[in-house]
């Protein structure tokens, strides 16, 4: 029974009660009214009883429903609690995993730092040991010097006594010398007078003054000495050339036969194949947004023309061009091309390029037999894989120089490991010379100092183009190996304009000397032939002239390999028979 039914039943009971009271209080009421009243009361009691019973049943049903709802709520709460606990467990497991990874990373960092500190400590300990040994040796030398000084002091005391005795004898001798000196002065004056008389007589007989005779004598001596000097220089140069040529040929033959030349030619464009020409539209994107995003992120020009199933990447920076090529190949393979995806792929390609450069640097160091390079230096070494010089790959060139320098060092009795290290790093400045101002030599010295390289490496970097000013023999070895690697046939290519300028400069230097009629650069600039005037240049002066021209070429020009200077002096005697 609902609440509305209960309310209606109560209203009926109240009405019935009120009617019964009215019927009971009325005067002269009939008996029928009382019966109706009693009947109404009876109905009211019955209705009340039913209402109470139904109310109890409704209350019991409500309690049952409440209990069910409570049980359902408790079950849902337990389920939610279990779900929350599971999530907490997962989150806790994830945090514990992250903490474990972070702990491992920190432990690895601490371990690396500990190893680094131990290495530095060991180096410091070794240095301290060496310093202590030097101090001990210096102390022993000082003790020996003290003993020698003591003995010297005793000798000086004895020597002083002897000198006192000699001083007395010297005083006596001084008196005798004074008298002898007066006699000698008198003799000297008489000799001068006699010399003036002889000189006047000679001038009268020869018909020449003293100054003219001295000048003629000096001219004659100068001519004789010049000829003799030319002959000696020619003989010494010939002897040195024969001995040096034989030894150099032996060393270089061994060095060259162990190393093959590897020629690499890098262009300014890269071609990326695509599956179909329909892909070009997807690469361009709506209103060109994809190609603009790609060019802005990579710094490389993307050229899409009528070339079937291919697009072109254009840039003078080979590193950027390779990153753009890797990114574009992945975009074409994936098929999803939009600015967001392009940004993700380009960043991924840059990270892959870092690993690639480190691997190339490690391979080069391993191939050259150089160990102990720091990671940053290996990364810079890998960048040389994308750097060329006159068409020659600089990384391959550096490895080749390291091999040749090591072989030369072993043949000459120096440390091959130090020579290989210096040869491998001599062009390290070229890895960033297009991004930092300065020559590759200056940049290389700064990088080597930053990574703590030794004096041999710094000297090789600084003087591999001018070994005359080198402070260590390793710079000279690296310079020789650098020339061998750069001058071998096919190793480098030269532009036509530079080639012509070099030939013209060779001829200009040769013709600038007096007595030279003509000069011709032959054999692709490997030899310059000089035609001289035979009346002004004799055979001895020809040897000196060849040497002076060679020195001027060495001083004023940059060229690969060597240049032979040949002086030709032709004498023709012509007579006509009539």
Residues of the chain with CATH 3.30.300.20: 496-568
Query: What residue has token string 């590897």?
Result: 262
Q: What does the alpha-carbon distance between residue 45 and residue 309 come to, in Å, rounded to a whole number?
A: 101
Dist. CA 578–CA 574, nearest whole Å? 13
Whole-number pLDDT of residue 260: 45
Q: Where are the beta strands (DSSP E) in 442-550?
A: 516-522, 527-532
**Contact criterion met (CB below 8 Å) for 517 and 531:** yes
pLDDT at 20: 54
**Other CB atoms within 10 A of residue 393 CB:** 21
Angle formed at CA 559 by CA 554 and CA 562, multiple of 5 degrees: 70
* Those residues with Cβ within 8 angstroms of residue 558's Cβ, 6 or more apart along the chain or in another chain: none
DSSP label of 430: G
Rama region for 515: left / alpha / beta (φ>0; ψ in -120 to 50; rest): left
- Compute CA distances 561 → 183, 454, 488, 491, whole Å: 72, 28, 8, 12
Residues pairing with 302 in the sheet? 313
In whole angstroms, give the CA distance from residue 196 to residue 43: 187
User: What CA–CA distance (Å, rounded) separates 72 from 19?
Assistant: 50
Contact indicator for 507, 520 with CB cutoff of 8 Å: yes
Range 269-487 has CATH code 1.10.3210: yes
Token output for 151? 């003995």
> Cβ distance 313 to 269 under 8 Å?
yes
Per-residue confidence of the chain (578 residues) as pLDDT tens digits?
A: 455 555 566 666 566 555 554 445 444 445 676 777 788 778 878 887 887 888 788 888 888 888 888 888 888 888 888 888 888 888 888 888 888 888 888 888 888 888 888 888 888 888 888 888 888 888 888 888 888 888 877 877 787 777 777 777 777 777 777 777 788 788 778 777 777 776 676 666 666 666 776 676 667 666 666 666 666 666 766 776 666 666 666 665 655 555 444 433 345 678 888 888 888 888 888 888 888 888 888 888 888 877 788 888 888 888 888 888 898 888 888 888 888 888 999 999 989 988 998 998 999 999 988 988 888 899 889 988 888 776 678 888 899 999 999 998 998 889 999 999 999 998 898 888 878 888 888 899 999 999 998 899 999 999 888 887 888 999 889 988 888 877 655 445 555 667 788 888 889 998 999 889 889 888 767 788 999 988 888 887 888 888 889 888 888 887 766 788 999 888 777 777 77
Which residues, 6 or more positions from 390, have their beta carbon under 8 angstroms from its beta carbon?
486, 492, 493, 494
pLDDT of residue 5: 59
* 3 state DSSP class of 206: helix
The pLDDT, as a whole number, for residue 228 is 67
Whether 329 and 277 have beta carbons less than 8 Å apart is answered as no
Q: Rounded CA gap, 55 and 59, in Å?
A: 6
Q: Phi and psi (nearest 5°) for 572?
A: -120, 130
**For residue 482, what are the contacts with CB-CB under 8 A and spacing of at least 6?**
401, 423, 426, 464
490 token code pair: 């096919």
**What CATH number does domain 496-568 carry, 3.30.300.20, 3.20.20.70, 1.10.357.10, 3.30.70.580?**
3.30.300.20
Please, which residues bridge with residue 516 across strands? 532
């Amino acid at each position: 029974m609902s609440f509305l039914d209960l309310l209606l039943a109560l209203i009926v009971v109240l009405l019935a009660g009120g009617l019964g009271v009215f019927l009971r209080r009325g005067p002269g009421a009939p008996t029928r009214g009382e019966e109706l009243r009693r009947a109404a009361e009876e109905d009211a009691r019955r209705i009340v009883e039913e209402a109470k019973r139904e109310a109890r049943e409704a209350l019991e049903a409500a309690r049952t429903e409440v209990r069910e709802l409570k049980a359902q709520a408790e079950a849902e709460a337990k389920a939610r609690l279990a779900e929350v606990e599971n999530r907490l467990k997962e989150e806790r497991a994830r945090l514990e995993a992250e903490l474990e990874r972070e702990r491992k990373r920190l432990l690895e960092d601490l371990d690396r730092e500990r190893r680094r500190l131990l290495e530095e400590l060991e180096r410091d300990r070794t240095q301290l040991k060496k310093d202590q040994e030097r101090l001990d040796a210096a102390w022993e030398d000082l003790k020996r010097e003290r003993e020698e000084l003591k003995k010297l002091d005793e000798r000086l005391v004895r020597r002083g006594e002897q000198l006192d005795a000699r001083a007395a004898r010297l005083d006596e001798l001084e008196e005798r010398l004074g008298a002898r000196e007066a006699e000698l002065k008198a003799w000297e004056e008489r000799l001068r007078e006699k010399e003036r008389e002889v000189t006047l007589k000679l001038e009268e007989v020869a018909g020449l003054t003293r100054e003219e005779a001295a000048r003629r004598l000096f001219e004659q001596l100068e001519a004789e000495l010049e000829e003799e000097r030319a002959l000696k220089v020619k003989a010494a140069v010939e002897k040195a050339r024969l001995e040096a040529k034989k030894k150099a040929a032996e060393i270089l033959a061994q060095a060259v036969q162990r190393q093959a030349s590897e020629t690499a030619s890098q262009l300014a464009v890269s071609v990326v194949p695509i599956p179909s020409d329909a892909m070009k539209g997807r690469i361009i994107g709506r209103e060109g947004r994809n190609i603009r995003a790609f060019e802005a992120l990579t710094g490389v020009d993307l050229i899409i023309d009528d070339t079937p199933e291919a697009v072109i990447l254009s840039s003078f920076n080979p590193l950027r061009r390779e990153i753009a090529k890797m990114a574009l190949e992945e975009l074409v393979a994936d098929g999803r091309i939009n600015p967001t995806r392009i940004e993700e792929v380009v960043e991924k390609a840059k990270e892959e390029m870092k690993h690639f450069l480190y691997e190339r640097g490690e391979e080069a160091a391993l191939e050259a037999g150089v160990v102990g390079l720091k990671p940053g230096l290996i990364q810079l070494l890998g960048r040389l894989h994308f750097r060329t010089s006159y068409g020659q790959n600089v990384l391959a060139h550096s490895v080749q120089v390291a091999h040749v320098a090591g072989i030369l060092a072993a043949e000459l009795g120096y440390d091959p490991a130090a020579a290989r290290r210096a040869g491998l790093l001599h062009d390290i400045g070229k890895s960033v010379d297009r991004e930092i101002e300065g020559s590759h030599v200056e940049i290389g010295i700064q990088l080597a100092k930053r990574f703590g390289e030794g004096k041999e490496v710094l000297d090789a970097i600084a003087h591999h183009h001018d070994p005359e000013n080198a402070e260590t023999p390793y710079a000279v070895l690296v310079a020789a190996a650098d020339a061998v690697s750069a001058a071998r046939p096919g190793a480098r290519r030269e532009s036509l304009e530079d080639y012509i300028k070099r030939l013209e400069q060779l001829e200009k230097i040769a013709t600038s000397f007096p007595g030279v009629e003509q000069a011709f650069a032959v054999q692709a600039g490997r030899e310059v032939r000089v035609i001289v005037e035979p009346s002004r240049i004799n055979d001895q002066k020809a040897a000196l002239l060849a040497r002076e021209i060679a020195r001027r070429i060495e001083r004023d020009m940059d060229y690969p390999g060597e240049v032979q200077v040949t002086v030709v002096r032709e004498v023709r005697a012509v007579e006509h028979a009539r």
